[in-house]
A = this chain, B = another copy of it.
Amino acid sequence: MGTHLLNASDVSRFVKTVFPEANSFGLKIDSLVDDEIIVSMTVLPEHLRPGGTVSGPTMFALADYAAYLIILAHIGEVALAVTTSLNINFIRKPEPVGLRAVCKLIKLGKRLAICEIHVQSGDNNLVVAQATATYSIPA
């Protein structure tokens, strides 16, 4: 499971064509090594909640997105993986600053892939959410 077919710039380029919202999210692949990807996002006014924290759906979207990217790196551009389930735990309220997701591919089967994701916030990378995502791999 350690080798991937696409590198960070391949993945970024492909995603920008198929997911236009990747651009508006300000998503950026910070690193892609073996089974782990680190993806950062800019937090914009529409991602905030009253009280100055980042919304749950924003953290969900970042976690889901990081999982999609690491799977894409391993199965290649042709395939279209879709999320079948996502379990997320909100650990503490993030500050209204940029987020990053550290995502590990822990299973890549013929039909299912599973990732563990930590969503981190701020300069000290405090873990604000933990998620497990399952994707279906097309035949």
Q: Is the CB of B83 within 8 A of A85?
A: no
How many chain-A residues does the 8 Å CB contact rule pick out? 38
Compute how far the CA of A18 lies from the CA of B55 in the bound complex, rounded to whole angstroms: 13
Chain B residues in 8 Å Cβ range of A84: 89-90, 112, 134
Q: How many copies does the complex hold?
A: 4
A64 within 8 A of B: yes
The binding surface of chain A is classed by DSSP as: strand
Compute how far the CA of A112 lies from the CA of B49 in the bound complex, rounded to whole angstroms: 21
Q: Is the CB of A106 within 8 A of B86?
A: no
Annotate A53-89 by CB proximity to B: 1 below 8 A, 0 otherwise: 0011110110010000000000000000011111111
Chain B residues in 8 Å Cβ range of A90: 82-85
